[in-house]
Amino acid sequence: MTQIVIVSGRSGSGKTSVLNILEDFGYYCLDNLPLSLVPMAVAKLTESQIHKIALGVDVRTPQADLSKFGEVHDELVKNFGQNHVIIIYTTAQESTLVARFDATRRVHPLMASGSVQNLPNAIKQEIQLLEPIATNADVKIDTSLLNIHELKEQIRNHLGVDNVVTVNVLSFGFKHGSPIDADFIFDVRVLPNPHWQAELRSQTGLDDGVKAFFAKYPEVDDMANDIGQFLAKWLPTFLHNNRHTVTIAIGCTGGKHRSVYMTEMVAKMLAETLPNAMRVNVKHREKSRW
């Protein structure tokens, strides 16, 4: 099922931020596409099995195109249905727009083209040029007082997008370096080490012999339960914290026995206890070294 979101709005009001948010939500985003090319671009994308599409349209597109926005919108609705074409229009108070341009030292698009000489006039003229889009907008968002997290929540609510967080549970070996992208790191080198038993040295934490070895030591289960309970309590807070991935790293010396076994145990616990919106993946960083 195809969903097309057209994002437009006044320069400096957060249109690019909205497109970035939609990209996080899995939309294929195109910005500054001439309006006359929109129907063709959407057709090509859907032929390629891309069905979540976000298109940025603003005053940088030819002005003759802007005046025909209604025709383009009607064509999209005819091809995909009224409920599958959504227009998001961002705006902000004039004082906010002026402050944002001053802070970034960027030039308003209408000033860059030479058609307007000063910022206040550019802001006023832009309102008139974007009127055909603003009139048809399904969602209007004033970003004057919103931070990026509040803006994301508004977009999520308007589109009915559920936040999904991927939880990566990663085993690694400290002797090969700690992972720099981990949000949590647990050191399990205090546990008994199968490496010192010759018959287990070539095995990994995935093998039955190593699993039987760890089953003899209650402290292994204790540590797994402690880590699992801690994460099960605190990871759900990331659903409301503007995050899409969380990485849990569990390390031993070589990344072959203890960390692998513990990672599998903790991941299994989390898969059984975390909310459905949190997806658990298991990775073993040192697998190529086994």
Which residue(s) pair with 140 in the sheet? 89
Q: Is the dihedral of CA 56, 20, 96, 144 positive or negative?
A: positive
Q: Which residue has the higher pLDDT, 27 or 62?
A: 27
Q: Are 68 and 102 in contact (CB under 8 A)?
A: no
Quote the pLDDT of residue 26.
87
Nearest one of 182, 256, 257, 270 to 224, comparing CA atoms: 270
For 254-266, what is each residue's pLDDT tens digit?
Answer: 999 999 999 999 9
Quote the pLDDT of residue 64.
67
Alpha-helical runs (H) found in the chain: 15-24, 38-47, 63-66, 69-80, 94-104, 109-112, 119-129, 131-136, 148-159, 208-215, 218-234, 258-273
Query: What is 3-159's CATH number, 1.10.220.110, 3.30.530.20, 2.60.40.10, 3.40.50.300?
Result: 3.40.50.300
pLDDT at 159 over 80: yes
The reported pTM is: 0.67
Name residue, tokens 């341009």.
101
Quote the pLDDT of residue 118.
87
Measured distance CA(268)–CA(196) in Å, rounded: 27
Using CB atoms within 10 Å of the CB of residue 30, give its burial: 0 to 12 exposed, 13 to 18 middle, 19+ buried. Answer: middle
The full DSSP string for 130-194 is: THHHHHH-SEEEE-TT--HHHHHHHHHHHHTPPP-EEEEEEEEEGGG---TT-SEEEE-TTS--G
Q: Name the residue ranges covered by the structural domains of the chain.
A: 3-159, 165-289
pLDDT at 243 over 80: no
Measured distance CA(105)–CA(38) in Å, rounded: 30
pLDDT at 115 over 80: no
Q: Are 76 and 69 in contact (CB under 8 A)?
A: no
For 28-86, what is each residue's pLDDT tens digit?
Answer: 999 988 888 999 999 999 999 999 999 999 988 877 678 889 999 999 999 999 999 99
Of the chain, the percentage scoring pLDDT greater than 70 comes to: 99
Quote the pLDDT of residue 259.
98
Name the pLDDT band for 242 (thresholds 50, 70, 90). Answer: low
Name the pLDDT band for 1 (thresholds 50, 70, 90). Answer: confident
pLDDT at 98 over 80: yes
